[in-house]
Amino acid sequence: MSVEHRLSEVRSRMAKAAAECNREPESISLVAVSKTFAAEDIRPVIAAGQRIFGENRVQEAQGKWPVLQAETTGLELHLIGPLQSNKAAEAVALFDVIETVDREKIARALAEENKRQKRPLRYYIQVNTGLEPQKAGIAPDDVSAFVRLCRDDLALTVEGLMCIPPVDENPGPHFALLAKLAAENGVERLSMGMSGDFETAIGFGATSVRVGSAIFGSR
């Protein structure tokens, strides 16, 4: 099956899931996760009309996106993987949205780079809904204070919350918790759902889903 075909398949599954919960399909965006795939694998997806992409490593993204961005205007690049503060400058220079703001140190480094580079990016706070020790993210109880710090003290544009539920659990309760935290904190967007569970995430209010293997094939 071609990558164009898989992309349209994902889009129609998203539309069907939206219709099933009476949501507008246009209110849900698709972040095509292109990590590990090369520029030549990504080009057909851009040619098929996809404009929003996600990468999980700054260095890997630097190796392929500048050339793709030069070829096509209007691309939007999301960082969906962990960010070290010594990479903040490079991340702000390359990405449009950073979905993995997960601690004060990185929030401060990003705020500084936004000012220095005059590139005010949009941000998501990553929430560790399963309180997994090995996983990044703000604990649910600390989300309010952290959103306030980012917005009020650092003037970051906090557009949404993001989560990656524990692999071995039913994701529904995690998506529900993320939606509740967003509502309580006046945060509009929810980045949740991947190839295996994006329809479930749409049912719980996802405004964007991050889909890799269902589009690009297995990694």
Ligand X SMILES: *Cc1c(COP(=O)(O)O)cnc(C)c1O
Beta bridge partners of residue 76, listed in sequence order: 52
CB of 116 to ligand X, least distance (A): 27
Binding mask 57-86 for ligand X (x = CB under 6 A): -----------------------xx-----
Q: Closer CB to ligand X, residue 49 or residue 196?
A: 196
Provide, rounded to whole angstroms, the least separation between the CB of residue 25 and ligand X.
Answer: 19
> How far, in Å, CA of 98 to CA of 70, rounded?
21
| Sites for ligand X among residues 14-43 (CB under 6 A) | 33, 35
Residues 121-180 that bind ligand X (CB under 6 A): 164
Structure tokens at 22: 């009476």
Q: Give 8 or 195: the residue with its C-beta nearer to ligand X.
A: 195
Residue 120 or 217 having the CB closest to ligand X: 217
148 strand-pairing partners = none
Cβ closer to ligand X: 154 or 165? 165
Closest Cα partner for 183 from 203, 164, 160, 199? 160
Q: Which of 62, 68, 195, 199 binds ligand X (CB under 6 A)?
A: 195
Q: Which of 106, 143, 178, 211 binds ligand X (CB under 6 A)?
A: 211
Let me know: does 147 contact 124? Beta carbons within 8 Å. Answer: no
Give the binding-site size for ligand X (rule: CB under 6 A): 14
Interface residue list for ligand X (CB under 6 A): 33, 35, 56, 80-81, 164, 194-196, 210-214
